[in-house]
Structure 1
């Protein structure tokens, strides 16, 4: 299962991480977010040690969502060395598509 992060620990858990980090910006009321949850949880186990996967509830943690201009859910942002490498918006990706996307950036 993907780790939950908050406004308070975002810098230490995401920006200071030694591996690439995928942040799933989600909300409890968001049906597409809930639809992607099994995929995100599976990828967090499959890529453990290569890509860290975390979830940030935008309703409970508005500061980080606002800082990164997150307006639609789900939004997936991939961070490396404290910087945003890439992002995807929406729930249109399959597990295989997400895996290829993450592996491409993890190898870079």
Structure 2
């Protein structure tokens, strides 16, 4: 499954900006700076924590599963993009012991 993770701090900042701005209808989709495979993120997280676990990608049946297996979790159009990558977050989380 392709995803585009965005840092929680960047989401919070974006929501505050939207809340303080005049009404404008639908806000553009916020996403992170890079498209990543979810299974790869899980493996990198486990490696950083020095944990050994089997990670098995699972495909869901039907139309929902097909959309999730492709790009169905990615933003549909242009919009704001966060700047902090998963690897940057992971490096900070490991040093903090999170």
Q: Which has the higher strand share?
A: 1
Q: Shorter chain as normaliser: what TM range?
A: under 0.3
**TM-score normalised by L of structure 1:** 0.25
Q: Which has the higher helix share?
A: 2
Q: In terms of Rg, which structure is larger?
A: 2
**TM-score normalised by L of structure 2:** 0.26
